[in-house]
Structure 1
Amino acid sequence: MKFRILAAVGVIALAGTAITGCAGASASGGDINELTFMFRGGDAEKAAYTDAIKAFEKDNDAKVKIIMTTADDYNTKLKAAITGHKVPDVFYVGPGDVQSYAKSGVITDITKQVESAPNFADIWDYGIDSYRYDGKVQGKGAIYAVPKDLGPFSFGYNKTMFEKAGIPLPDKDKPYTWAEFAEVAKKLTQDTDGDGKLDHWGTGLNVTWNLQSWVWSNGGSWLNDDQTEVTVNTPEFAEALQNFADLKSVSPSATEAASLDTYQRWMKGEIGFFPVGPWDVPTYEKLDFDWDLIPYPVGETGEPATWIGTLGIAVSASTKNPDLATKLALYLSTDKTAQQSLVDAGVQIPNLKSMADAWVTSSDLPPANKQEFLDIVKDYGRALPANNTYSGEWYDEFWKNIQPVLDGKVTAADYVKKEQPAMQKLLDKAIQDAELG
């Protein structure tokens, strides 16, 4: 299944690949007031950045060359630029790249400038902490980027489908239990045209992006607290994976998803529950049905859980104008006018806490329950499991052979027991690589 992978990749980095050797020269020209800014995104984001950068250029007597790529092409083109010693002055980085880029001298420590910024205390803590690294532990120490955005990965539902099926709407303040969720999803799974084939389904969740909510809400985890041990082989984790796999009866089959993936089926109004990130809002605004946000279904803890994606804006260690480059990064991340342009474009929530409540009440873009996005950032969202490890190979390993579990051919308990040693071996390698630098 291929649900909104391009967008999701836009706010996370599953694995940071180590870049060795000197970062090399900046991509900017010889003029001290010229900068290059490289990012990935869509038309709405490009338009917002273009307007914001025009204001920055005017205020700082500077010229900024914009380099935009698709989400698919970004990492390849950035790493080609690094290898070719033409690193952009300012560019996007994911949390998973911070350790390798910092150790190899691609990005520079901007702690002093960031912490002395007038609105430093107004930035979401998660947004800053995601780009801290003290040389050993990510999330602590020096700041190597400022948040481009925070992407709370929320849960949406098709309100129109509920109303047509005569099912009471979900409570935005009281999450479904797993059992309640499965029962509602079963009622939404229907043959609406009477041809003997299902054409509406309760859900169509992609395991790579949604299992985290099930695992964490059930008290499970991928790693121990100091991130040295893979902990997937526990009853809590296995129960969560099995419950998720058992949703196959209320989801399009592999064959049905191959002919039209679950993201497209959601867009057509054929799926009842589906994930929603802030980056989806400009597209979802055009849907032919009403939708809104609710908390994810809850496991044994009784508490909802999900992840917060993020991208950072970093400064090249080889830029010829570090002060101006850092000023641009901070401007794009924290200037209220620049933030308003991005928020109005519907591609993100505000990076500044002081803007958040006004955004919830004043924005006329969907969803109606924008508060759910903020609740995730404030209360129960967390980083993806591989965001703070030197390499994400150990995490990627978990997904490689998971299909038989989803097909009901292998139990979740057997799968996690088999996968844990292979994942641990790769995590040990990542820890060793981090120590070697």
Structure 2
Amino acid sequence: MRKSRLIAGIAAALVATSTLAACGSGAGGSSAEDGTLTFMFRGGDDEKKAYQDAIDRFTEDTGVKVKVIVTDADQYATKLQAAVAGNKVPDVFYVEQGSLQSYVSSGVLMDITDEVAEQGVDLDNIWPYGIDSYRFDGTLQGTPDGQLYALPKDVGPMALGYNKTMLEEAGVELPDADEPMTREDWLKVLKKVTKDTDGDGEVDQWGTGLNVNWTLQSFVWSNGGDWTNDDRTQVTVDTPEFADALQFFADLTTKDKVTPDPEQAATLDTYQRFMEGQIAFFPVGPWDVSTYNDLDFDYDLMPWPTGTTGDPATYIGSLGIGVSNTTALPEDAVKLATYLSTDETAQQTLVDANIQIPNRIDTAEQWATAEDAEPANRQEFLDIIEQYGRAMPAAYTYSPQWYDELFVGIQPVLDGKTPAADYLAEVQPRMQELLDQTNEQAEQAAAAGSAP
């Protein structure tokens, strides 16, 4: 998700190589001669070990051998692009939400709708958001009626965490696990915990420290704003609701001074400052839990503060597990994708490694209510999935360039030099032009993919 520009380049490469991918020999990246599947994914050491354990068990249960190709996160997209261009697409591989349509149009991804159904998978026990993220009806992605082109590797709700130890020491009432704070009440707490703790005249503890790319969504959506209309044809950032949310976000630094300023953030980024115990409120994804559980202070999760709608909002990320359209072993490949995404034992292996929450709803509910749950309010992750989480604005469009454009020139707003409303009025036409181009590209790719 954090490589949207690179994904756009991959989308273009996939269209350019569509004939190659669709009309190749069928060998793909598999070692079909000896019945070995290839599975390509990305991840750190914890994820690598957990997936190897799950795959070893898959081989024991099915007799199907799997060659694992694993890369670091920042290398995955480039290596997958090279595999596509070289007609060596892995049998099974990670799929970004934002690249699904280009993979489908270029013939790289297999439609697995019928194959998954034949395996008798209970999709009703998998988070609907995860399943629908990889459905595409030829026009819109993320709709429940589309064909299924991948299964969820995970769903990643972005929760808001807080330093419980810091708040208790400051005499602040801990956030309610069920009742969200208004952003005004939250700001009062941010100001109370922002202080100079060592008396040297410099602030060294802050209320929060948020990255605009990954947290502005919460404030905009909760304020009744959005990036586009429902059918993703009109950019809607030039509204009072959006401007008010962006201005509030910018004011946290420039006016309210409850976040590290750019110079302080450059010295030590806010992620590190949170882990050092210098920041009270900071986002927490499931992928952070294995790290955060070893911090020197207690932390927990809370609902995101609310804007004018009175409802919290945040985004849910996801990765999918797709099957190559040119695999020589389609039955085994779908079986592996299904196993990793939905099998109870496989899911438990990944969950025990603290790298994701369960895809299976029943398993997730048990996980959230475990007596030894850490963080204690794991339920917040599930509340986001079930109640108030949304896909990122560009997750279901053919290219993210229109969305990225908002952030290209946003710094003067964050520095307090340009009012949010002025900037949004100026950037909206450029975003609209790029969105129009994106939708035209999607139509052209769909037409090319359906041509005989």
Is 1:276–2:287 an aligned residue pair?
A: no
Secondary structure, aligned partner of 1:250: coil
- Cα distance in 2 for partners of 1:91, 1:308 equals 21
Segments of structure 1 that go 5 or more residues without pairing to the other structure are 1-7
Q: Which residue of 2 aligns with 1:118?
A: 121
The amino acid that maps onto 1:313 is I
Q: Which residue of 1 aligns with 2:172?
A: 167
Contact 1:10 1:40 in 2 (8 A): no
**TM-score calculated relative to the size of structure 2:** 0.93
Q: CA deviation at 1:362?
A: 2.0
The amino acid that maps onto 1:213 is S
- Cα distance in 2 for partners of 1:38, 1:352 equals 23
Identity among equivalent positions (%) equals: 60
- Cα distance in 1 for partners of 2:220, 2:6 equals 20
Contact 1:9 1:71 in 2 (8 A): no
Q: CA deviation at 1:291?
A: 0.3
Q: CA deviation at 1:11?
A: 12
Contact 1:11 1:151 in 2 (8 A): no
**Aligned match of 2:215 in 185, 190, 210?**
210
Q: Which residue of 1 aligns with 2:428?
A: 420
Change (3 A) 1:14 1:366: farther
Q: Which residue of 2 aligns with 1:192?
A: 197
Contact 2:314 2:390 in 1 (8 A): yes
**TM-score calculated relative to the size of structure 1:** 0.96
Contact 2:6 2:77 in 1 (8 A): no
Q: Which residue of 1 aligns with 2:11?
A: 17
How big is each residue's C-alpha offset from its partner over 1:188-212, in whole Å with a ceiling of 9 and x where there is no partner? 1110000111110000000000000
What are the residue-to-residue correspondences of 1:78-97 with 2, within 5 Å? 78-97=80-99
Is 1:429–2:437 an aligned residue pair?
A: yes
- Cα distance in 1 for partners of 2:79, 2:218 equals 32
What are the residue-to-residue correspondences of 1:332-371 with 2, within 5 Å? 332-362=340-370, 364-371=372-379
Q: Which residue of 2 aligns with 1:308?
A: 316
Q: CA deviation at 1:9?
A: 3.7
Is 1:221–2:214 an aligned residue pair?
A: no
Contact 2:222 2:312 in 1 (8 A): yes
The amino acid that maps onto 2:265 is A
How big is each residue's C-alpha offset from its partner over 1:35-64, in whole Å with a ceiling of 9 and x where there is no partner? 111111111111111111011112221211
Contact 1:158 1:269 in 2 (8 A): yes
- Cα distance in 2 for partners of 1:14, 1:205 equals 24
Is 1:132–2:135 an aligned residue pair?
A: yes
Q: CA deviation at 1:363?
A: 6.5
Is 1:103–2:93 an aligned residue pair?
A: no
Q: Which moved more, 1:182-191 or 1:31-40?
A: 31-40
Segments of structure 2 that go 5 or more residues without pairing to the other structure are 446-452
Contact 1:285 1:365 in 2 (8 A): no
Is 1:46–2:48 an aligned residue pair?
A: yes
- Cα distance in 1 for partners of 2:4, 2:429 equals 29
Change (3 A) 1:385 1:121: same
Change (3 A) 1:11 1:273: farther
How big is each residue's C-alpha offset from its partner over 1:251-285, in whole Å with a ceiling of 9 and x where there is no partner? 00100111100000001000000000000000111
- Paired residues, number: 430
The amino acid that maps onto 1:157 is Y
- Cα distance in 2 for partners of 1:90, 1:382 equals 27
**Aligned match of 1:64 in 50, 58, 66?**
66
RMSD (Å) for aligned C-alpha atoms: 1.6
- Cα distance in 2 for partners of 1:45, 1:12 equals 25
Secondary structure, aligned partner of 1:405: helix
Q: Which residue of 1 aligns with 2:330?
A: 322
Q: Which residue of 1 aligns with 2:156?
A: 151
Q: CA deviation at 1:287?
A: 0.4
Q: CA deviation at 1:139?
A: 1.8
Q: Which moved more, 1:92-101 or 1:159-168?
A: 159-168
- Cα distance in 1 for partners of 2:182, 2:157 equals 21
Q: CA deviation at 1:31?
A: 2.4
Change (3 A) 1:77 1:412: same
Secondary structure, aligned partner of 2:315: strand
How big is each residue's C-alpha offset from its partner over 1:288-311, in whole Å with a ceiling of 9 and x where there is no partner? 000000011100000000010000
- Cα distance in 1 for partners of 2:3, 2:234 equals 28
Q: CA deviation at 1:361?
A: 1.8
What are the residue-to-residue correspondences of 1:364-379 with 2, within 5 Å? 364-379=372-387
The amino acid that maps onto 2:61 is D
- Cα distance in 2 for partners of 1:363, 1:9 equals 34
